[in-house]
Amino acid sequence: MKRAWMGAALLGALLLSGCQKEIQPVPELLEPVGVTLDTAVCRREDIRTVKIYNSAVVPAVEGLSLTVDGAVDQMLCLPGEKVKAGQTLLTLNTEALSDQAQELEKSIEYNRRMYAFQNEQAELTLQMQRLTLSHLRGEGGASPDDILSLTRSIEDGELSLRQSQETQVLELGILEDQLADLRLRLSRAALISPADGVVTYCMPLTEGSFLPAFTQAVFISRDDTLLLSGDYIAASELRWAKKLYALIGGKTYSVTPVEQDESQIISDLRAGLPPVTSFTIDEGQDPPPVGSYAAIVVETQRAEQALCVPSNAVYRDVGGHYVYVIGPGGTRTRQSVTTGLVNDSYTEIREGLMEGDVIYVQE
Residue 268 clears pLDDT 80, i.e. is over it: no
- The Cα 305–Cα 46 span in angstroms is 5
Pairing state of beta strands 218-230 and 43-64?
Answer: antiparallel
Tens of pLDDT, residue by residue over 103-138, are 999 999 999 999 999 999 999 999 999 998 888 888
Would you state the CATH architecture of domain 39-47+304-360? Beta Barrel (2.40)
What pLDDT does 75 receive? 93
71: burial class by Cβ within 10 Å (0-12, 13-18, 19+)?
middle
Whether residue 35 has pLDDT greater than 80: no
pLDDT digits (tens, 9 = 90+) for 303-354: 889 999 999 999 999 989 999 999 888 888 999 999 998 888 899 999 999 9
What's residue 105's pLDDT? 95
For residue 14, the model assigns a pLDDT of 37
Residue 253: CB atoms within 10 A of its CB come to: 20
pLDDT digits (tens, 9 = 90+) for 277-312: 999 999 999 999 999 999 999 988 888 899 999 999
Query: Cα separation of 37 and 326, whole Å?
Result: 9
The length of the chain is 363
3-state helix/strand/coil string of the chain:
CHHHHHHHHHHHHHHHHHHHHHCCCCCCCCCCCCCCCCEEECEEEEEEEEEEEEEEEEEEEEEECCCCCEEEEEECCCCCCEECCCCEEEEECCHHHHHHHHHHHHHHHHHHHHHHHHHHHHHHHHHHHHHHHHHHHHHCCCCHHHHHHHHHHHHHHHHHHHHHHHHHHHHHHHHHHHHHHHHHHHHCCEEECCCCEEEEEECCCCCCCEECCCCCCEEEEEEEEEEEEECCCCHHHHHCCCEEEEEECCEEEEEEECCCCHHHHHHHHHCCCCCCEEEEECCCCCCCCCCCEEEEEEEEEEEEEEEEEEHHHCEEECCEEEEEEECHHHCEEEEECEEEEECCCEEEEEECCCCCCEEECCC
Q: Are the C-beta atoms of residues 349 and 338 closer than 8 Å to each other?
A: yes
Q: What is the mean pLDDT of residues 146-163?
A: 92
Rounded to whole angstroms, the Cα distance separating 316 from 342 reads 13
CATH 2.40.50.100 fits 66-94+189-215, yes or no: yes
**Average pLDDT of 172-198?**
92
* Residue 60: C-alpha distances to residues 96, 108, 266 (Å): 36, 46, 21
Instruction: Please say if the pLDDT value at position 362 is more than 90.
Output: no
Q: Which band of pLDDT confidence, cut at 50, 70 and 90, is reported for residue 145?
A: confident
Of 137, 140, 138, 159, nearest to 150 (Cα)? Answer: 137
Specify the pLDDT at position 32.
43
Whole-number Å distance between alpha carbons of 217 and 257: 26
Decide: 232 and 296 in contact? Cβ < 8 Å: no
For the chain, how long is the longest CA-to-CA vector? 182
Contact (Cβ atoms closer than 8 angstroms) between residue 39 and residue 361: yes
Q: Can you tell me the distance from the alpha carbon of 117 to that of 119, in angstroms, rounded to the nearest whole number?
A: 5
Supply the pLDDT for residue 302.
84
Q: What is the pLDDT of residue 147?
A: 86
Is the pLDDT confidence value at 176 over 90?
A: yes
Neighbouring C-beta atoms of residue 258, cutoff 10 Å: 15
Per-residue pLDDT at 190 exceeds 80: yes
Sheet with 210-211, strands from edge to edge, namely 190-192, 88-92, 70-75, 210-211
Share of the chain above pLDDT 90, in %: 60
203-205-210-212 Cα dihedral, nearest 10 degrees: 20
Q: What is the pLDDT of residue 17?
A: 46
Categorize the per-residue pLDDT at 363 as very low, low, confident or very high, splitting at 50, 70 and 90: low
Distances (CA, A) of 19 to 15, 267, 355, 363: 6, 69, 55, 38
Q: What Rg, from alpha-carbon coordinates, does the chain have?
A: 46
